[in-house]
Structure 1
């Protein structure tokens, strides 16, 4: 790992580094162990923390297949921020006493499954296929736990 430095984005700290000469961002709170090596870092020529971080964040912003529009209960905003990080875009103009309008970016439709732990604390407004997929997942879960003679 060849570090460029630390970056704070949306209140979350990241280590920006090259791993095998490929740029990466690692959420700092998820790094639990490390080992110092006895060699100088090898960063790519003409690259800085700012240039590498800008390229990585731009790549993320354009590397998603589905944007889910939703309203999150006020009690869950911090939890949603921790879980979705930079994939979450809050609409600062759309806030009420009960919730905040947000957009969450996912790579694949199947990834909306990550919204299930929020239950009714999140209301997905669109797109239609995201709402339908969540409805199907919830129905499957309810069916799985339905009372049966073998329970």
Structure 2
């Protein structure tokens, strides 16, 4: 599992021109990708890491500040570009496997006390954000 975290001054995700999720205050944008072998436990572990990682102002975490999180599924985090000019998506888990794991990541954050907004799984989304810092960190599960 991969979670690309971006510290954001503001962010929103839209589908067909309609905003479906946004940060109500400064917080984190989490782009979430799932690969084969990931499970609910992996999702909960990365949710806890996301919530407690000290990457916000004053080396504080989202948990310390009650900062909101905008979580968006993104299978393209598992693009393989080693061969040719067309990415391979074979490392990304298929939707029936990945959707419940992305949902578990969001549920894990909420269970820890996070205010989480989301995009819509499988939809074509437009994400806009102001990356604060800029700060972008890739979290990966151990295999």
Fold conserved (TM > 0.5)? no
Larger-gyration structure (1/2)? 1
TM-score (norm 2): 0.22
User: Higher helix share goes to which structure?
Assistant: 1
